């Protein structure tokens, strides 16, 4: 990528604060490598795009949770997914999105977000021999052969988990709510069912109650996802095993560990 070129950062760029408005009227932007970009003798390895304003800045107590899913300062007007999705997309491309912090804690100096992405230009490596196939004793992906159904109405939250579990060897299916999951489970089965508690049409708690009544063996395979554990105590809700609740945002390593643990527990029975 040349020091100044057209930018195709796609939906990650349009989800950055203030950037969406500008990209609605112009599909091209100028990208200039920042002073901190890494350089080699043949090419620029990364480029950075900064989006900033001159407002009140971002207080430290808010900055710490900005990139978490469902974190918003706009009340009901915001989804709390814009920065989270931007960072996920950037990281999948080998880059990142960060909030640039100032010495005064972000108060009174405006907010500045920086997206860093690798360039398309790469140094051509010397030809290598084809890698030898793994030996019979090589470890397989930890979740190889495990079938996982992810039930969550928020695709930007659901899909990063799905991609991660697939990379770990799992076979992954997705459903947008409890009703869709029930329809899927009427014809198939899953080793682990990851269920968001709060969803339209049929919540995770309602799905769990139906599985307990009709397919208790499937109810025993449910792990719950929740950004608000207080809903577990709401009157009339089916009791949910607290040890099977993963609090959002879920660390991917912890997700893998819990899925593997549940499969191991079932295998030991």
175 and 199 Cβ atoms separated by less than 8 Å: no
Task: Provide the pLDDT for residue 171.
Answer: 96
The token pair at 196 is: 């968001």
The CA distance from 46 to 97, in Å, is: 13
More confident residue, 104 or 39: 104
Q: 38-91, pLDDT tens digit by residue?
A: 444 345 677 888 888 777 777 777 777 777 766 666 655 555 667 777 777 777
* Residue pLDDT, tens place only, 153-196: 988 889 999 999 999 999 999 999 999 999 999 999 999 999 99
Q: Is the CB of residue 77 less than 8 Å from the CB of residue 71?
A: no
Look at the pTM and tell me if it is higher than 0.85: no
Question: Tell me, what's the pLDDT at 147?
Answer: 97
Q: Which residue has the higher pLDDT, 227 or 1?
A: 227
- The first and second tokens of residue 150, run together, are 């992810």
Nearest to 142 by CA among 170, 163, 171: 170
What spatial distance separates the first Cα and last Cα of the chain, rounded to whole Å?
56
Q: Residue 256 is encoded by which pair of tokens?
A: 């893998």
Distance CA 150, CA 181 (A): 9
User: Can you list the domains of the chain with their CATH numbers?
Assistant: 10-118 (3.30.565.10), 147-268 (3.40.50.2300)
Per-residue pLDDT of 201-212, as tens digits, reads 999 999 999 999
Averaged pLDDT score across all residues of the chain: 73
> At 6, is the pLDDT very low, low, confident or very high (cuts 50, 70, 90)?
very low
């Amino acid at each position: 990528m040349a020091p100044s070129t057209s930018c195709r950062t796609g939906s990650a760029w349009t989800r950055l604060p203030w950037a969406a408005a500008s990209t609605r009227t112009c599909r091209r932007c100028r990208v200039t490598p920042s002073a901190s970009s890494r350089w080699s003798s043949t090419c620029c390895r990364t480029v950075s795009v900064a989006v900033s304003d001159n407002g009140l800045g971002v207080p430290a107590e808010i900055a710490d949770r900005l990139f978490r899913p469902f974190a918003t300062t706009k009340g009901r007007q915001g989804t709390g997914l814009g920065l989270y999705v931007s960072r996920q997309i950037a990281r999948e491309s080998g880059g990142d999105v960060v909030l640039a912090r100032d010495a005064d804690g972000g108060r009174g100096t405006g907010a500045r977000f920086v997206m860093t992405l690798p360039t398309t230009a790469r140094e051509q490596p010397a030809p290598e021999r084809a890698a030898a196939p793994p030996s019979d004793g090589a470890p397989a992906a930890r979740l190889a052969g495990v079938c996982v159904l992810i039930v969550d109405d928020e695709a930007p939250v659901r899909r990063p988990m799905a991609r991660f579990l697939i990379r770990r060897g799992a076979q992954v299916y997705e459903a947008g709510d409890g009703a869709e999951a029930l329809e899927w489970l009427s014809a198939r089965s899953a080793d682990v069912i990851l269920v968001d508690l709060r969803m339209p049409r049929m919540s995770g708690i309602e799905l769990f109650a139906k599985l307990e009544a009709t397919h208790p063996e499937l109810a025993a395979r449910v792990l719950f996802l929740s950004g608000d554990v207080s809903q577990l105590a709401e009157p009339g809700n089916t009791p949910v095993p607290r040890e099977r609740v993963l609090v959002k945002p879920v660390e991917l390593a912890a997700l893998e560990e819990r899925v593997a643990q549940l499969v191991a527990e079932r295998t030991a029975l």
